[in-house]
């Protein structure tokens, strides 16, 4: 079981939130969001998770910054409609990062969190972020939609999703749990998983994480810790 395996499971459910899926804000009026790419990239990197933000034993397996065309490629509504929707939301730029447990086999045997995926998106105005989070909320309400979005597995069965209780973080919070069994491409192995997806909006920023556990385990307190870290950095960067 290699790193890309469970990165795929993560991308699975992260795609359901997609680019749609920021913490509590202050009362000061937001300053205009810069639109030049170098400045936006620097902002995204300042918000992104650092190694010290993660549980021990995780390594980064993917980091990429996406414009609207790149973000639309795997959208459930297709790239054409997705680009139109992202433009309507005034999405400026986003970043996706995936972190995988170094010992995936041990995680599978003993149970534990296997993959963490974090996505950050900056919008030109707050309404775009509000609309994006609502779209993500609607998508997560249908597990069937999530099942069609899981790359890297040949099939997924018994997928079920439900909203879960979660502290309010940021201006808005959406939290779901998905359970199911996936068959990995090139490996005739059925792997049960439990994934928690939490999305937050902070002003004109939206972030979401997908934390996927295997071996009979469920994601733990790292979910809230990570989302609060992202919330704080969204507030600092987009103030």
Q: What are the sequence ranges of the domains in the chain?
A: 3-238
pLDDT band for position 118 (50/70/90)?
Answer: very high
Angle at 160 between CA 155 and CA 163, to 5 degrees: 140
- The model's pTM is 0.84
13 vs 138, residue with greater confidence: 138
Give the tens place of pLDDT for each residue, 8-63: 444 444 444 554 553 334 444 444 566 799 999 999 999 999 999 999 999 999 89
Question: How many angstroms separate the Cα of 27 from the Cα of each of 34, 161, 232?
Answer: 20, 36, 15
Q: What pLDDT was estimated at residue 24?
A: 38
Q: Quick one: how far is CA 39 from the chain centroid?
A: 22
Q: Quick one: how far is CA 232 from the chain centroid?
A: 17
Angle at 197 between CA 26 and CA 1, to 5 degrees: 135
At the topology level, CATH places domain 3-238 in Protein Transport Mog1p; Chain A (3.40.1000)
Element (H, E) at 89: none
């Amino acid at each position: 079981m290699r790193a890309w395996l469970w990165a795929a499971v993560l991308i699975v459910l992260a795609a359901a939130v997609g680019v749609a899926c920021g913490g509590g804000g202050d009362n000061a009026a937001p300053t205009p969001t810069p639109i030049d790419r170098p400045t936006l990239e620097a902002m995204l990197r300042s918000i992104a998770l650092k190694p010290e933000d993660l549980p021990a034993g995780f390594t980064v397996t993917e980091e990429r910054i996406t414009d609207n065309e790149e973000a639309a490629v795997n959208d459930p509504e297709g790239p054409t409609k997705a680009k139109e929707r992202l433009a309507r939301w005034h999405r400026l730029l986003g970043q996706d990062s995936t972190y995988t447990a170094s010992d995936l086999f041990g995680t599978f045997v003993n149970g534990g969190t296997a993959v963490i995926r974090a996505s950050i998106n900056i919008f030109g105005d707050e309404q775009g972020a509000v609309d994006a989070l609502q779209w993500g909320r609607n998508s997560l309400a249908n597990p069937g939609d999530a099942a069609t979005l899981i790359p890297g597995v040949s099939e997924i069965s018994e997928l079920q999703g439900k909203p879960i209780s979660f502290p309010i973080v940021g201006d808005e919070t959406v939290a779901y749990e998905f359970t199911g069994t996936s068959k990995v491409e090139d490996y005739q192995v059925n792997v049960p998983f439990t994934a928690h997806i939490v999305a937050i909006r902070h002003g004109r920023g939206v972030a979401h994480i997908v934390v996927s556990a295997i071996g009979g385990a469920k994601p733990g307190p790292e979910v809230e810790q990570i989302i609060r870290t992202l919330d704080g950095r969204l507030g600092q960067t987009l103030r």
